[in-house]
Amino acid sequence: MAFKVGIIGPESTGKSCLARYLAQRYKGTCVPEYARTYVERKGTTEVSFDELCHIARHQIEEMEQIAKSQEPVVFFDTELIVTKVWFDYAFGRVPEWLEKAIKTYPMDVYLLTYPDLPWVADSARSNGSDAIRKELFDRYEAEIQALDIPYYIIKHE
């Protein structure tokens, strides 16, 4: 069974670069952020509740595949906690099946990226304010703490 590392944090905090680097450095697998691919194809960062459900289900399918694989270590460039927080942030509710999936496919450790890098706009980002980035960071940290899974805060220094 793979050792699973969830790399989560607000937008523009280096998650994708970190996930790719660590996968290469430790000869692991990097699972890219599906939501980014989805919104880039769509051409807008606005997603409906149903579209976010689609994104979450795709992430769950990835988790199911990893659970069946013989990969030694897998680095997830974002994962289900991020999606859960986005459901709550954007729609004020979270599907029960997503809550269950988070517990069914837990990470072994989280790397939580702190919003201390400058926000850089691109076609898949929409939340550049420092206040929103810090609020999302705090929400992600609270979710990890509630799961009682080890985590490390990654800061740029």
Q: pTM higher than 0.85, yes or no?
A: yes
d(CA 154, CA 152): 6
The DSSP bridge partners found for residue 8 are 112
From the number of C-beta atoms within 10 Å of its C-beta (0-12, 13-18, 19+), residue 13 rates as: buried
User: Which is nearest to 49 in space by CA: 86, 5, 11, 12?
Assistant: 86
Mean per-residue pLDDT, 63-74 = 89
Model confidence band, residue 122 (pLDDT cutoffs 50, 70, 90): low
d(CA 27, CA 18): 14
Contacts of 100 (CB under 8 A, 6+ apart): none
pLDDT in tens, 107-116: 999 999 999 9
Looking at residue 40, its pLDDT comes to: 82
Contacts of 75 (CB under 8 A, 6+ apart): 5, 7, 19, 22, 23, 28, 29, 30, 31
- Is the pLDDT higher at 126 or at 5? 5
pLDDT in tens, 82-112: 999 999 999 999 999 999 999 999 999 999 9
Our CA angle for 42, 144, 79, nearest 5°, is 25
pLDDT in tens, 7-56: 999 988 999 999 999 999 999 999 998 888 888 888 777 899 999 999 99
